[in-house]
Structure 1
């Protein structure tokens, strides 16, 4: 049955946040980058489903293509003028539509099975469950949204799991319109107001290829890389740490993730590539940023080496705990916390929109071979958003 027909038939309309999560999990929306593990990838089908759900909830819906066949979905709910005539602050609920790949999963990735008090499947926790909690709250409040003291929008972002094209596009074209962004991630319903930034970078060393029987006539790029690896793992790691700890995020880190060099055993390697993952806190940002620090460190040891970012730098999230929306979330029981991972919230914040990440479920279940979310947490998430939007007490 087609997506529009499914939602057009009210008998098939999801009757609970659990049923909604099942419906979302059963629509594959695997990010095509890396190793998706399925032939059909992309977010178009789940964007269409979410768009229909938003329309039934009373929103004006726009499907906004970011990459070919890979759209964001935006829902704008009607808002009545404030009693004092002043514009209402506009907020946006922003989950992501894509999931990581399904290779190696031990359960049906798109089954949406319910057992043992859990809902199972790819995206159940990251982040179709948290998205469903937001959507269900908007459905429950569909007759009240216009009279709330805030104007409510929804934006489902494509490609969060790789390069964050969706949130970057939304921030560029719509960011100035919002007073606050609530990004769905599995945070145990805590308010992630800070998270680390991320730099993935390739470090390349170069040599001179000669016959393996006379290596002294050439220059070995692997040997040059070995010296860099030792220094990166010790001295550069210490340099990052010396930039300073963050109360919520701790110290910045480097992980040496992949290495490749040479072409044959009997040829001296003329090229070697190391890929590193740097997770950095605001202290490193304030010391010039991870890319500049890494480039300077590598150049000092090997002027011929090359440092190239793999994609765009993902910034830190560093939203003020004194923001009134943040304080309101805390007052409703969503305690402050920080995170070592990064998400779409940072790109909204970079565009000037105070942002946090929050949702039911545990990050420990994200990307796992047996991904699940607890039913009780899913329901608690939907209830929290209803209560928070109504301004009801904790």
Structure 2
């Protein structure tokens, strides 16, 4: 098949549609990365670097400050929602399809501005990266933070995650663990001989059902936590008492604590279970007290809110770079079968970023 071509002189809405029509499920980002690389290499004021399926484009204008603006290229699996199309709901126009919200609309805005802004008030590093929608250890920003951390250097960072054109500071952390209980296998016709491991999970399930998640104030923003079972396994056969059972638990914790502190909290809730960590991602404080962040808020005219989900602002925060989320799309529609983004929000984000980056 011919390589898709991105026209960065098109509107950000049309660029969004073109991106959405290039399938890029996590692990299959090469085609979209090739298209992005080919497009930005045509832009004379950008120095372009490719690292795997991540494309980095930088200005080097000698400005006093540098801002990093990033967005991921991958999506969750397609479910009959590609190719994209326009639809009108209650008089409002939407672009429908996988990735419209999370987060190709944000990437489209970034690509258009990267091509057009040859004289911004700050130096810019644009990053479009792979493997965000999967386990944190596969995320290419993590790899680059380890192998080429200088490429992530900046005074402020913006992630184009969906925020409905508002600004969401920091993010909750995420910790996924497995709780295991053990018993003794036996024939179910003589169950008294065995010890049922699944039954031993009942106290953990009760603790999860009764748990009341906290809302934590961090730097003036209220972060709502969550602790939930997201999977359960156990059992060998219909006539066997199981000797092992497991509950998969996800803890979304506020940025007042680290992953290690979050894990200690889980150990106090589930003291009688073996706990195995399967995925961990640090939280990030809001980062809204940085002068550049305050200027950004004023320029885009947005209200500061907390980010409940985990995003890569945490990676920048860990490097000492204050970071926020700002992009088009309702996060409640991310990953949904009817994923759709209001086209007005795409235009709004483009105007807001353009105004700020030009000092207008």
Instruction: Say whether the fold is shared (TM-score over 0.5).
Output: yes
Alpha-carbon distance, 1:321 to partner: 2.3
Aligned-partner Cα distance in 1 for 2:69–2:265 = 35
Q: Say which SS state the counterpart of residue 310 (structure 1) adopts.
A: strand
Map of 2:319 onto structure 1: 351
SS at match of 1:317: coil
* Counterpart for residue 134 of structure 2: 162
- For 1:141-152, list aligned pairs within 5 A: 141-142=117-118, 144-145=119-120, 148=121, 150-152=122-124
Aligned residue-pair number: 349
Answer yes or no: is 1:289 the counterpart of 2:261.
Answer: yes
Which consecutive residues of structure 2, in runs of 5 or more, have no partner in the other structure?
none
Does residue 1:48 correspond to 2:34, yes or no? yes
- The structure where strand makes up a greater share of residues is 2
Q: Is the 8 A contact 1:192 1:356 kept in 2?
A: yes
Once the two structures are superposed, what CA deviation does each residue of 1:225-277 show, in whole Å capped at 9, x if it has no partner? 1122213433xx35x63x95555234422111211111122111101010111
**TM-aligned CA distance change 1:254 to 1:89, over 3 Å:** same
What aligned pairs does 1:26-175 form with structure 2 within 5 A after superposition?
Answer: 26-32=21-27, 42-58=28-44, 59-65=46-52, 71-79=53-61, 81-82=62-63, 88-103=64-79, 105=80, 109-116=81-88, 117-142=93-118, 144-145=119-120, 148=121, 150-164=122-136, 165-172=139-146, 173-174=148-149
Structure 1, gaps ≥5 residues long: 33-41, 66-70, 83-87
**SS state of the match for residue 289, structure 1?**
helix
In structure 1, the partner of 2:359 is: 391
Rounded Cα–Cα distance in structure 2 between residues aligned with 1:309 and 1:349:
22
Secondary structure of 1:126's counterpart equals: helix
Q: Distance in 1 between matches of 2:334 and 2:165?
A: 15
1:195 aligns with 2:181: no
Using a 3 Å threshold, how does the CA distance of structure 1 residues 275 and 179 change in structure 2: closer, same or farther? same
Which residue of the other structure, out of 265, 273, 276, is the alignment partner of 1:308?
276
The aligned residue for residue 379 of structure 1 is 347
Q: Does 1:248 align with 2:234?
A: no
Shift of 1:13: 5.7
- In the alignment, the residues of structure 2 paired with residue 227 and residue 317 of structure 1 have an alpha-carbon distance, to the nearest angstrom, of 32
Judge conservation of contact 1:249–1:339 (CA < 8 Å) in 2: no
Check 1:339–1:177 CA distance in 2 against 1; reply closer, same or farther (3 A cut): closer
Paired position in structure 1 for 2:196: 220
> CA 1:375/1:163 → structure 2, altered by over 3 Å: closer, same or farther?
same
Q: After alignment, is 93-102 or 111-120 more displaced? A: 111-120
Distance in 1 (CA, whole Å) between partners of 2:96 and 2:185 is 52
For residue 112 of structure 1, report the CA deviation from its aligned partner: 2.7
- With over 3 angstroms needed to count, the CA separation of the structure-2 counterparts of 1:251 and 1:16, relative to structure 1, is closer
1:361 alignment counterpart: 329
How far apart are residue 2 of structure 1 and its match? 3.5
**d(CA) in 1 for partners of 2:341, 2:109:** 12
CA distance in 2, matches of 1:258, 1:207: 20
Cα deviation digits, residues 112-151 of structure 1 (max 9, x gap): 3233222221111110001111111222223x24xx3x21
Asked if the contact 2:231–2:249 (Cα under 8 Å) also holds between the matched residues in 1, the reply is yes
Post-superposition Cα deviations, 1:318-371, rounded to whole Å, max 9, x if no partner, equal: 033210121012111122110211111111111222111111121122111122
Distance in 1 (CA, whole Å) between partners of 2:340 and 2:43 is: 27
